[in-house]
Amino acid sequence: MQSIHDIKAKAKAHKITMAAVCNEAGIQQSQVSRWLSGTVEPLWTSVNQLHLALEKLIDRSPVVID
């Protein structure tokens, strides 16, 4: 299982905002911020939702060749 921090780093590497990931996953960005700060521990299912949402967004992203 990926951590919430891994998901954030992967999103950044693909130039995808966490706001977009949260929107795709149906999770409020404020809740994810609490998870990232360590204020609240996320459920595995919630982290998995974010992971799946990020994968969908990556799949939809146009391929850029440098």
- 65 within some domain: no
How many structural domains does the chain have?
1
CA 65 and chain centroid, separation: 24
Q: Are 48 and 1 in contact (CB under 8 A)?
A: yes
Confidence (pTM): 0.88
Range of the domain at 49: 4-60
Of residues 53 and 63, which shows the higher confidence score? 53
What local confidence, expressed as pLDDT, does residue 65 receive? 67
Q: Are 4 and 34 in contact (CB under 8 A)?
A: no
- State pLDDT tens for residues 14-52: 999 999 999 999 999 999 999 999 999 999 999 999 999
Within 1-66, residue ranges assigned H as helices are 4-13, 18-25, 29-37, 44-60
- 45 within some domain: yes
* Residues listed for the chain: 66
- 51 within some domain: yes
CATH of the domain at 41: 1.10.260
- 29 within some domain: yes
